[in-house]
Structures are given as C-alpha cells and as structure tokens.
C-alpha cells in the first residue's frame, strides 16, 4: 500500500495537519521528537494529533506495520477509524468564544482544541479509546445550548456501561473547567470492542 492509498484509507489529507500526515507524526513520536521539528512543534493541529497518538500508543504501530489492507484485517478496522478521527479533530474548525473576565476582552478557543480536550478524557478510563467527537449546536453563540456526542472503543472484558459513564463524566468536567460552553448533554456511544496487542498475539 503506497502513502496516497494509506491516506485515503484513513480518510484525511495532509492539509488537515498543516501539511503533515499521521504516519509522519507517528514516526516523530517514535523518534522521541528528535531532532526537533519546529513545523510540527509550533503547529496547534499537530500537537492535538500528537497527544492523541501518544495515548493510542503501540496500537498505531500495529496499523502502520501492515503492508496491505488485507493484512490490516477486521480487528484493526477500529484503529483506522480512530486515526481518521484524530486527523479530523485536529482541524481548527469554528472559533468558540470564551466569556471574558474583563469587559472588552475578546477570548476564544478553536473547535479543534475543544475536541482534543474531549479526547483527553481517555486518561480517566484506561483502555478506552475515543473516536469521532462532535459538537452539536451553535458553538459560536455564547450561552447557546450545546450537546456532545463521542464514539468509543472499549477494551475487551471491561464493564462497558461503567466505562462509558466514567468517560462521560470526565468529558463534562473537562468542558466545565476549560470552556464556557453551555453543555446540556454528553452522549458516549460504544462502537467497538478491542483487544490489547498482547491479547491479540496470544490469540486470547
């Protein structure tokens, strides 16, 4: 599979990441971010994607080691969807105003940064991997009602309902602490069940 075919498989273009690809960012992480690349280090979208890839960890290497789509197999389909979502989440998107602490201040945060914040809820639920994150509502209008929907892949054997509730609560706490969005609901939908790399290799 060549680079263009791989990009089409993942459903993104380099323009989403300031000219870089998910493969390049994965290689950069594997090299310990050495030598430093200012074009990556100073790109907000690349930093959002790098943080998500760091949490995804060895599973990204599973995907990039595959030479053909057939070798990727059904078990890696969910990894492909998550990688595609990471690329989409990194896009700046709409500007979300932040209620100013002082009159006359004009503060805001990008939609991509908020989606990156939402994806950070993975830290509270070991093994959970978040896919597509969507903000519904007029996020450009202060105080307008906004709902959040997130797709999740849960680890095999986990208590799925409890894990989903943990992620949902963490997302709500993150958004309340770091934005002034009027969040009226957070929905977490489990789309996949995955096995850890060690489980897959052992066939269990």
- Reading the block at residue 89, the tokens are 């989440």
Domain that holds residue 138: 95-197
Smallest CA-to-CA distance from 10 within 101, 54, 72 is with 72
Which contiguous run of DSSP H or E holds residue 118? helix 111-119
**Length of the chain in residues, anyone?**
204
Same domain, residue pair 121 and 144: yes
The answer as to whether 171 is a domain residue is: yes
Encoding tokens for residue 9? 């498989």
* Domain end call among 44, 66, 89: 89
CA 160 – CA 149 distance, rounded (Å): 17
What does the pLDDT look like over 156-174, one tens digit per residue?
Answer: 888 999 999 999 999 999 9
Phi and psi based region of residue 93 (left: phi greater than 0; alpha: psi -120 to 50; beta: remaining): left
In terms of pTM, does the model score above 0.85? Answer: no
pLDDT in tens, 171-199: 999 999 888 899 999 999 998 887 755 54
Whether residue 16 is found in the same domain as residue 51: yes
- Indicate the helix (H) or strand (E) that contains 125: none
Of 78-87, 90-99, 105-114, 158-167, least confident by mean pLDDT is 78-87
- Provide the CATH number for the domain around residue 111: 3.30.70.1350
Do the bridges between strand 145-155 and strand 182-194 make them parallel or antiparallel, or are there none, so unpaired? parallel
Residue 97 and residue 108: Cα distance in Å, rounded?
Answer: 4
Please identify, among 89, 116, 144, the residue that sits at the C-terminal boundary of a domain: 89
The total of structural domains in the chain comes to 2
């Amino acid at each position: 599979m060549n680079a263009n075919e791989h990009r089409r498989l993942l459903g993104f273009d380099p323009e989403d990441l300031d000219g870089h690809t998910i493969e390049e960012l994965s290689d950069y992480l594997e090299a310990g971010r050495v030598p430093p690349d200012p074009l990556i280090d100073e790109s907000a979208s690349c930093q959002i994607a790098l943080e998500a890839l760091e949490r995804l960890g060895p599973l990204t290497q599973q995907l990039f080691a595959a030479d053909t789509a057939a070798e990727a197999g059904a078990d890696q389909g969910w990894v492909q969807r998550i990688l595609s979502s990471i690329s989409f989440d990194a896009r700046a998107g709409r500007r979300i105003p932040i209620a100013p602490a002082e009159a006359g201040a004009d503060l805001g945060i990008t939609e991509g940064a908020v989606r990156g914040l939402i994806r950070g809820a993975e830290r509270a639920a070991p093994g959970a991997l978040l896919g597509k994150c969507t903000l519904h509502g007029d996020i450009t209008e202060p105080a307008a009602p906004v709902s959040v929907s997130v797709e999740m892949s849960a680890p095999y054997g986990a208590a799925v309902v409890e894990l989903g509730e943990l992620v949902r609560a963490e997302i709500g706490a993150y958004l309340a602490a770091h934005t002034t969005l009027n969040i009226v609901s957070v929905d977490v939908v489990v789309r996949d069940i995955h096995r850890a790399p060690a489980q897959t290799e052992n066939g269990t």
